[in-house]
Amino acid sequence: MKLSSRFLLDGLYVIAGAFLTVAAMAWSAGTAGWTAFGVSVGIAVVAAASAALAKKTAHRLGHGLIALVAVWSLLAALIFNGSMLTWFAFGDAIALGVLALADLASHEASTERVVHSLEVRDLAGNR
């Protein structure tokens, strides 16, 4: 069984979103802001590269949106400070996690559909 790169990257984005969500509320605004900046730079680069190299439109759209949220998050980390930074980092982390889960669900739904249609055809062919 082959592990899909889209599945792996979406899992990474979900974990990053969960980490930043907790970090935004647990750490001081400055620490959380710089952490959000660093993680967002990495996610923006990986998601943009993945979107650029993707063959399917759904993959391009999902990872492109994740890259846009990551770019906004890193800009917000540089522009805002104090409680505004805390709440922007928190909101951006939740948006990142939600988009990653939506892309993951989209990927799994399309994969499940293909597997189901293969199983149905196989059972029909054996009768």
Whole-number Å distance between alpha carbons of 47 and 41:
10
> With 90 as the cut, is the pLDDT of residue 4 above it?
no
- Region 34-47: mean pLDDT is 96
What is the arithmetic mean of pLDDT over 40-48? 96
Quote the pTM value: 0.81
pLDDT at site 5: 84
22-35 mean pLDDT: 95
* pLDDT for 124: 56
Taking only the tens place, the pLDDT of each residue in 18-28 is 999 999 999 99
Distance of CA 12 to the CA centre of its chain: 7
pLDDT at 115 over 70: no
CA distances in angstroms from 4 to 50, 74, 90, 110, 112, listed in the order given: 12, 27, 29, 13, 13
Q: What is the pLDDT of residues 51-107, one digit of tens each?
A: 999 888 888 999 999 999 999 999 999 999 999 999 999 999 999 999 999 988 887
Query: Who has greater pLDDT, 127 or 65?
Result: 65
Question: Distance between CA 10 and CA 16 in Å, rounded?
Answer: 10
Query: What is the average pLDDT across 9-32?
Result: 95
